Structure 1
Amino acid sequence: MKKLPIFLLLISLTFSAAAQTKKDKKLSKMIHELVQGFNGEVGIYVKNLKTGKVVEYKGDSIFPTASMIKVPITAGLMNKVAKNELDYQSKLTYKDSLLYAGEDILGSFKDGEQIALGKVMMLMITTSDNTASLWCQSLAGGGAAINELMAQEGLLNTRVNSRTPGRSANQLKYGWGQTTPREMATLLTKIRNSTLINPAVSERIYRNLIRIYYDSQALSQIPPYVQVASKSGAVDESRSEVLLVNAPHGDYVFCIATKNQRDMSWEPNNEGWVLIRSLSKMLWNYFEPGSNWQPAAGMESYRN
């Protein structure tokens, strides 16, 4: 019997798994109603990890990742660490040539200053530092090496585009990176289940993902005493966020991404951010009925 090429086998397995997925019809109706009238394209994937029930709305459509690409970059870097090609405790020397102009913490370093690799990774995830992220992408072997790891993990559409040979057309369309809501949620689930690369690597990545500075969108709709692993992303025409919530009644994961938004503002009432907060609130109340939790009055004044 002739063997299928690996990419056809992965596609076959993906569709086979999708066919066996249990659907949450009630939540699906709620989500379809929530996205009606949105001025742009939106994709959503939700999975209750306790029951296995799934809801998706264009969950396999490709969207820009913006800063969500920093999760695959982290995976690529930790893959190098796992192979003993990099030392997590090693000291790195910052150079002015690494600067990516903006408000980054790392970009304020002086040429020749030293910083631990682990701290650079922390800055990439916790404060979404772009200078740190591009440095990490390079240390991971570049976009090509990260994309190869994503392919090995069965993620067919999650790719780094920027500074990656052969990806210029994709970069023009999607920016720094691209993914689908299903794949980004799957990646976080692999990390949660300790199946990405190895358990120690997964745990290290997960610990980084629960320490997020920018918590004004989806995270703001979940009680601060509930642990959440997450990463958000935003560019003018796109808003996105992926979360894995360690909720009292069972973990759930979701990813929401938009593109071609008409509203390109950077105010808190941006239509994409409003939708993200609304979805997060809906899911918390759905999976944790009776919690009656609400953000404290005045929290809007402390938005990051």
Structure 2
Amino acid sequence: MKKAIFFSLLVFALAPATAQKTDKKLESQLNELLKGFNGNMGIYVHDLKKNRIAAINADTVYPTASMVKVPILAGIMRKIEDGELQYHQTLTYKDSLLYAGVDILGSFKNGEKIELSKVMMLMLTMSDNTASLWLQTLAGTGTRINQLMDSLGLRETRVNSRTPGREAFRTQNGWGQTTPREMALLMEKIVNKEVVSPSASERMLRILGRNYWDENAISQIPADVFVASKSGAVDATRNEVLFVNSKKNPYIFCICSKNNKDTSWNEETNEAWVLTRKVSDLLWKYFNR
């Protein structure tokens, strides 16, 4: 009998102090917004004040598009923390690093110098793909980054591109893959100073707070509110993850989509982007009414 009582007390002691509850009212409003969307969309929201969540297809795997740059950032910070790289060290750009497109770094001449910190800025602020692929290599390739994600308890968040053994996943999901819940959780771990180290997490949060691409979810949040974010888009996928540090009620949310019928690139009219703005507007008003 005593053993049974002790076991029950032990289980109680090990249980989370504040278990998350589902905000059914918010979930219902989000479901209403998603009705009729021509594609597959998932959303995960965490109310950091009341520790409540809303989740719609939150554990479905989606292509990351450029959201993969958050795991790459974590991988680079791990290398800096271990002393294998220095935040302000000088790097030499080579033409072989070029990823064809309209990237700023891709316009560099062979042999030009640039600080690692500025390459990191280009990856997150401008979503520069040449910078991102260079940093992916410097971080130890997707293999090492994926090991780091696994150590954080993220089982689906993976780099696929240029990563041995991930070829089939790349064919299906492109550069990387994640779920809305996991990408939001990665952001939350950064906010809680749990990724690499407290100082590394703080630096990551500052970098993520300098997003040039601010015309969708971010556009619905007042300009004087700190937002850390990363978006990503390819033809049939539009994603965004945000930490919104509202003084009244901070929250984190991630919205992902795939198989979108509307693959246009008009910011004002693309169906997924329009819906992203509506979701962000709903969340801001819901948490700050």
* TM-score band, normalised by shorter chain: over 0.9
Q: How do residues 186-265 of structure 1 correspond to structure 2 at under 5 angstroms?
A: 186-265=185-264
The alpha carbon displacement at 1:20 in A equals: 4.1
Task: Classify the secondary structure of the residue corresponding to 1:244.
Answer: strand
Gaps of 5+ in 1: 1-15, 290-304
The alpha carbon displacement at 1:251 in A equals: 1.3
1:36 aligns with 35
Letter in 1 for 2:53: V
Letter in 1 for 2:103: D
The alpha carbon displacement at 1:186 in A equals: 0.4
2:44 aligns with 45
Is 1:280 paired with 2:283?
A: no
Deviations 1:80-129 (A, max 9, x none): 11111111111000001101111111111111010000110010000000
The alpha carbon displacement at 1:144 in A equals: 0.3
The alpha carbon displacement at 1:250 in A equals: 2.3
Gaps of 5+ in 2: 1-14
- Report the TM-score when normalising by structure 1: 0.88
Q: How do residues 82-121 of structure 1 correspond to structure 2 at under 5 angstroms?
A: 82-121=81-120
Q: How do residues 95-174 of structure 1 correspond to structure 2 at under 5 angstroms?
A: 95-174=94-173
Letter in 2 for 1:250: N
**Runs of 4+ that moved beyond 2 A:** none
Task: Classify the secondary structure of the residue corresponding to 1:29.
Answer: helix
Letter in 2 for 1:145: R
Distance in structure 1 (CA, Å) of the matches to 2:53 and 2:166: 32
- Report the TM-score when normalising by structure 2: 0.93
Distance in structure 1 (CA, Å) of the matches to 2:77 and 2:123: 13
Paired residues in the alignment total 273
Distance in structure 1 (CA, Å) of the matches to 2:98 and 2:64: 21
Task: Classify the secondary structure of the residue corresponding to 1:131.
Answer: helix
Distance in structure 1 (CA, Å) of the matches to 2:118 and 2:249: 31
Task: Answer whether contact 2:63 2:176 (CA < 8 A) is retained.
Answer: yes
Task: Classify the secondary structure of the residue corresponding to 1:201.
Answer: helix
Distance in structure 1 (CA, Å) of the matches to 2:134 and 2:125: 15
